[in-house]
């Protein structure tokens, strides 16, 4: 098993670009990860990385070995999944990613319950509002809110996810309450936007009697963290477009007020993506089924 662990460390170090990051991803200290790489190099009799004080890159032979190592690890995972399917007992590590809001409020509360029900499993979660690459990041399941474009992955819809426009009472008192979608385009209003590097063109879509209306909204503040936008809205700095479940408690308490109820944003999709080769793995199937059975995104 130590050789397999060395292979796993090696592939993640190549993918993440450093021994520290590769080790951390596998819950190993830098010292242990470095030891695994040295053991592998000693076993193979070659140098797998070019090391400088600022960078770590695979050698030519390291690149060749990486391609074969990835295939070997995938074959082992497939073999283990096939054996596990005979008993249909989930076991092993499940690497999960989700947007910050959905991850914290929907997925995270379900993880302890799942692990208690299936004690032979481990769940490693990564939360980010940025787009992730499931395959290169070594992930098993990626939950999302929206409409993903990646057709190389298996998509499973969990439910529709209602969205809402809202702002703090003090913001509306100061700037006025928008009565029509066009009011959002006024210089009087500050729309709080979710942006991140390489994010697509930003706009809000509202449902109107004439059909969906795309609005090129703007604002003086944006962030790549959905909860930051909620905090700004709560502090009276602008209007936010959020999944209803994400702000339900604030709407109920009155700290945020829903606006443009007659022309709300259309509901989006809450679902998950996973590689096709994971379809027969009991731990993936059971985890996704568990989330689908217990998730509440209605708000």
Provide mean pLDDT across the span 145-162: 80
Provide mean pLDDT across the span 182-191: 92
CB 257, CB 117: distance < 8 Å: no
Q: Which of 61-75, 166-180, 191-205, 234-248 has the lowest mean pLDDT?
A: 191-205
The fraction of the chain above a pLDDT of 70, given in percent, is 92
Backbone angles phi, psi at 29, to 5 degrees: -75, 160
Residue 235: per-residue pLDDT: 97
pLDDT band at 88 (very low <50, low <70, confident <90, very high): low
Provide mean pLDDT across the span 215-240: 92
pLDDT band at 145 (very low <50, low <70, confident <90, very high): confident
Residue 198: per-residue pLDDT: 55
pLDDT digits (tens, 9 = 90+) for 32-55: 999 999 999 999 999 999 888 778
E strands along 99-238, which residues? Answer: 121-127, 141-145, 153-161, 163-167, 191-194, 204-208, 211-215, 222-223
pLDDT digits (tens, 9 = 90+) for 98-113: 988 889 888 999 999 9
What is d(CA 112, CA 119) in angstroms, rounded to the nearest whole number?
A: 10
E strands along 148-238, which residues? Answer: 153-161, 163-167, 191-194, 204-208, 211-215, 222-223
């Amino acid at each position: 098993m130590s050789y397999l662990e060395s292979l796993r460390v090696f592939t993640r170090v190549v993918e993440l670009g450093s021994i520290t990051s590769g080790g951390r991803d596998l819950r190993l200290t830098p010292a242990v990860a470095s030891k695994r790489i040295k053991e592998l190099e000693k076993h193979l009799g070659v140098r797998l990385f070019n090391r400088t004080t600022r960078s770590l890159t695979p050698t030519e032979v390291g690149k060749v070995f990486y391609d074969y190592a990835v295939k070997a690890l995938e074959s082992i995972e497939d073999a283990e999944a096939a054996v596990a399917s005979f008993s249909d007992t989930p076991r092993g590590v499940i690497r999960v990613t989700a947007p910050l809001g959905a991850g914290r409020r929907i997925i995270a509360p379900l993880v302890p319950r799942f692990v208690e029900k299936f004690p032979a499993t481990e769940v490693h979660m990564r939360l980010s509002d940025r787009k992730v690459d499931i395959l290169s990041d070594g992930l098993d399941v990626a939950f999302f809110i929206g409409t993903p474009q990646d057709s190389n992955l298996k998509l499973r819809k969990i439910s529709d996810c209602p969205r809402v426009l809202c702002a703090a009472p003090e913001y509306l008192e100061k700037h006025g309450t928008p009565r029509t979608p066009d009011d959002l385009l006024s210089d009087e209003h500050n729309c709080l936007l979710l942006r991140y590097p390489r994010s697509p063109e930003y706009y809000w879509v509202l449902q109107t009697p004439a059909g969906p209306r795309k609005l090129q909204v703007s604002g003086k503040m944006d962030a790549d963290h959905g909860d930051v936008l909620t905090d700004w809205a709560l502090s009276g700095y602008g209007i936010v477009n959020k999944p209803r479940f994400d702000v339900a408690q604030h709407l109920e308490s009155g700290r945020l007020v829903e606006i443009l109820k007659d022309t709300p944003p259309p509901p989006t999709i809450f679902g998950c993506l996973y590689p096709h080769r994971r379809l027969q793995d009991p731990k993936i199937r059971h985890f996704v089924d568990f989330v689908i059975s217990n998730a509440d995104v209605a708000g």
